[in-house]
Amino acid sequence: MKKAIVVLALSALISAFACAGAGAATPGSGRSLSVPLTVTDRAGIARALEPVTSGVPVARELDLKATEGLRVLDGADREVPAQFEITSRWGGGPDDRSRPARWVLVDFQASTGSGGSTAYTLVSGRSGGGPAGTLSVTRNTTDALEISTGAARFAFNKRKFTLFDSVDVGSRRLVAPGGADIELVNADGARLYSKDVTPGEVVLETDGSVRKTFRWWLRGRSISCSAGYGTAGMT
């Protein structure tokens, strides 16, 4: 069985699909929010409904305290599937809804041509529910977590660190139950194998309709460090 290598010391995501233009959201007409978001492909690949994540700073004067009225619009003023999270507030913590938002994390689905750019806009003041994404948790027990994208299903074993325990796309099984033989490498080059690891905790940290993020806490006996953690994000 092939081994996958995960470096715990440094986790980096280098994306060829970039979101730019998210300058500070400042008051406009009627204290509403309107922030241009430009999505550019830099890898020469046409993109269709690809996941995009961007942090957006918000001016204090806007007094934005909740995300319910936020939407992402395409160039034709149509709402696209998106989710929003206030990660920082002026004068308080993220959970203090009496304080205005300072930073909003925006996740949405974007499309653009090969090497092209597409304009989107983050706005506020919309009523009703926006279009939802297709991500859903189909199973979350003490032993397993399963997430469906609509087109694919990803299963994760909470009792053993196998990364993907199984993967199915339509009727095709790409990864059989049991997952892969994972090899972890820390900053000193010490190696830890998944067969020696029992996850101490598996937590679904973000449960949105466009992005879900979960975290493993790993404890192993074959390297000097007593604990490490890996964060796996899936869209």
10-residue mean pLDDT series, the chain (235 residues): 31 42 51 90 92 93 93 94 95 96 94 95 82 84 89 88 87 86 79 75 83 75 31 36
Say yes or no: 95 and 21 in one domain. yes
* Structural domains counted in the chain: 2
| Residue range of the domain that includes 169 | 134-234
With 0.85 as the threshold, say if the pTM is over it: no
CATH of the domain at 27: 2.60.40.1180
Instruction: Establish if 8 belongs to a structural domain.
Output: no
Say yes or no: 173 and 118 in one domain. no
Say yes or no: 117 and 21 in one domain. yes
Distance separating alpha carbons of residues 32 and 61, to the nearest angstrom: 10
Residue 133 has what pLDDT? 74
Say yes or no: 119 and 140 in one domain. no
Residue 132 has what pLDDT? 73
Q: Which of 88, 126, 121, 85 is nearest to 106 (CA)?
A: 85
Helices (H) and strands (E) in the chain, counts: 0, 18
Rg (alpha carbons) of the chain, rounded to whole number: 20
Distance separating alpha carbons of residues 115 and 117, to the nearest angstrom: 7
